[in-house]
């Protein structure tokens, strides 16, 4: 019954009545029942009830699990007794690494009560533990900067962190960033909401944004790291064999540089219905009409005629493109990365895959940033497909879509609140901040 009340956001007095009934009938209150009641209290911001449950549970039980501790951290952080969340946070540390949400709750409490020193100390802990701060944490810190001028450099470092880690701030955080810049002494900064022209020029300040293209040095550095850490790394052989990878390398070296590499299975599954080979053939045909040298990566089962893989379609695909079919258990991504990077900086690839696992294999932030930049500058994603009609790809922007700055401006791409941007797409809205000396 308590679970049903929890799901429905039930009346707190009704929940109290249920607790009183159980206590009267059984002479005790089970831990799990109190935990559910505590959750209801925290969700409904019933602060005095949270304090009561804390007193009961601390008295009755020798130790509290991390779930209960997290709820008390959240509950206390919203009140004048926010400092009592700190020892609870310490008790979580004895068992596990606290979550970014745990830290965010206490940081928000510290900021609300004017204790920026504690807020920044906790933020340093987040970074020291290699956790990813959440956007509520950043928003709290920028809001604290409106009245506390002692952390201006630290707030700018948050923007560089977001740049290095390819984080797009949400609209609510972006508004806090704008308010902070405009509050800086001297009234030098002005923020405007903007978009970017296809020519890479900001429509507000007319500044040109950074190019998405890697220069030769960056491309060479990225290629070297991907080959060592992803292609030749041990993890790759969980889904393929050294023999298969060597066979593929020989295959690639004996052919001219490709203009585009197609993740065949990924592309074929875009629509999720109909004949998969028809989808793949349509994409390959569109690329062939553009005069491109194409490599299609597939799995061996695609060569066996079935309802999904039409023999005639597959024959046409192999006439229009070079094809390499891996074992059915093999993973496509290492092959795709090798072929695309080996072909040169001009080579694009077609896939909806985000390649998060492969980015994680790279050893440092700067290389991961280059990988992300290369990916956005070379990944062709299907925009629409209707059988018998033209295949359309999303246009690759000529400019980089990460936070960027020079001495007199900041340009911050952001996600609109409630927006429905797919994770492989990039934001279309920007905050333009300019300084007038």
Tokens of 235: 């993890």
| Lowest mean pLDDT across 5-19, 333-347, 381-395 | 381-395
Rounded CA gap, 285 and 317, in Å?
8
Q: At residue 203, does pLDDT exceed 80?
A: yes
Task: Kindly list the structural domains of the chain, giving each domain's residue range(s) and its CATH number in brackets, ordered by start.
Answer: 2-143 (1.25.40.10), 145-210+398-437 (no CATH), 216-393 (3.40.50.11980)
Once rounded to an integer, what is the mean pLDDT over residues 5-10? 85
pLDDT at res. 119: 97
The more confidently predicted of residues 219 and 150 is 219
Q: Tell me what pLDDT residue 426 has.
A: 76
Alpha carbons 83 and 220: distance in angstroms, whole number: 51
Give the pLDDT confidence of 353-379 residue by residue, as tens digits.
777 777 777 878 888 889 989 998 999
Between CA 326 and CA 297 the distance in angstroms is: 8
**Is a pLDDT exceeding 80 seen at residue 39?**
yes
- pLDDT reported for residue 392: 85
CA 401/CA 233 separation, integer angstroms = 29
Contact assessment for residue 414 and residue 171, using Cβ atoms and an 8 Å cutoff: yes
Contact (Cβ atoms closer than 8 angstroms) between residue 329 and residue 239: yes
What mean pLDDT value characterizes the chain? Answer: 90
In this predicted model, what pLDDT tens digit does every residue of 23-37 receive, in sequence order? 999 988 999 999 999
User: Which pLDDT does position 396 carry in this prediction?
Assistant: 85
Q: How do residues 281-307 score in pLDDT, each as one tens digit?
A: 999 999 999 999 999 999 999 999 988
> Is residue 237 predicted with pLDDT exceeding 70?
no
Dihedral sign of CA atoms 36, 41, 47, 49 in order: negative
pLDDT (tens digit per residue) in 376-396 = 899 998 876 666 667 888 888
Question: Mean of the pLDDT values across residues 108-135?
Answer: 96
Cα–Cα distance, 277 to 115 (Å, whole number): 61
**pLDDT value at position 164?**
87
Give tens-digit pLDDT for 243-268.
888 899 999 999 999 999 999 998 98
- Whether residue 280 contacts residue 266, with contact meaning beta carbons closer than 8 Å, is answered with no
pLDDT reported for residue 427: 85
Is the pLDDT score of 274 beyond 80?
Answer: no
* pLDDT of residue 233 exceeding 80: no
Residues 167-184 pLDDT 10s: 999 999 999 999 999 999
Across residues 231-252, what is the average pLDDT? Answer: 78
Question: Looking at residue 387, what is its pLDDT?
Answer: 64
Contacts of residue 243, defined as CB under 8 A and 6 or more positions apart, other chains included, come to none
Which of residues 390 and 138 earns the better pLDDT score?
Answer: 138
């Amino acid at each position: 019954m308590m679970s049903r009340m929890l799901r429905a956001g039930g009346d707190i007095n009704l929940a109290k009545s249920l607790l009183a009934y159980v206590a009267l009938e059984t002479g005790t209150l089970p831990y799990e029942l109190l935990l559910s009641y505590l959750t209801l209290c925290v969700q409904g911001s019933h602060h005095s009830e949270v304090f009561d449950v804390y007193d009961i549970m601390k008295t009755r039980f020798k130790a509290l699990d991390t779930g209960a501790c997290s709820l008390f951290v959240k509950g206390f952080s919203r009140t004048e007794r926010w400092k009592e969340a700190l020892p609870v946070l310490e008790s979580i540390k004895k068992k596990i690494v606290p979550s970014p949400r745990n830290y965010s709750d206490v940081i928000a409490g510290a900021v609300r009560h004017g204790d920026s020193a504690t807020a920044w100390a906790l933020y340093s802990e987040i970074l020291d533990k290699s956790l990813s701060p959440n956007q509520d944490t950043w928003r709290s810190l920028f809001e604290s900067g409106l009245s506390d001028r002692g952390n201006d450099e630290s707030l700018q470092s948050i923007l560089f962190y977001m740049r290095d880690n390819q984080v797009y701030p949400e609209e609510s955080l972006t508004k806090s960033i704008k308010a902070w810049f405009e509050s800086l002494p001297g009234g030098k900064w002005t923020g405007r909401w903007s978009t970017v022209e296809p020519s890479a020029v900001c429509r507000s300040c007319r500044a040109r944004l950074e190019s998405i293209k890697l220069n030769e040095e960056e491309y060479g550095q990225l290629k070297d790291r991907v080959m060592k850490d992803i292609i030749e790394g041990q993890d790759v052989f969980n889904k393929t064999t050294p023999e298969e990878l060597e066979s593929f390398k020989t295959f690639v070296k004996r052919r001219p540089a490709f203009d585009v590499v197609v993740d065949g299975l990924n592309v074929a599954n875009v629509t999720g219905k109909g004949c998969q080979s028809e989808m793949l053939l349509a994409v390959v045909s569109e690329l062939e009409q553009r005069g491109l040298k194409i490599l299609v990566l597939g799995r061996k089962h695609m060569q066996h005629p079935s309802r999904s893989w039409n023999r005639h379609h597959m024959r046409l695909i192999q006439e229009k493109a070079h094809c390499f079919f891996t074992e059915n258990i093999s993973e496509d991504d290492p092959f795709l990365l090798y072929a695309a990077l080996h072909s040169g900086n001009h080579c694009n690839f077609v896939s909806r895959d985000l390649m998060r696992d492969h980015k994680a294999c790279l050893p440092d932030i700067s290389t991961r940033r280059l990988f992300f930049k290369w990916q956005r500058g070379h990944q062709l994603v299907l925009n629409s497909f209707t059988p018998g009609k033209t295949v359309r790809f999303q246009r690759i922007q000529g400019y980089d879509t990460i936070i960027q700055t020079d001495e007199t401006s900041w340009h911050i791409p952001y996600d609109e609140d409630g927006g429905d941007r797919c994770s492989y797409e990039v934001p279309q809205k920007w905050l333009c901040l300019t300084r007038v000396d």
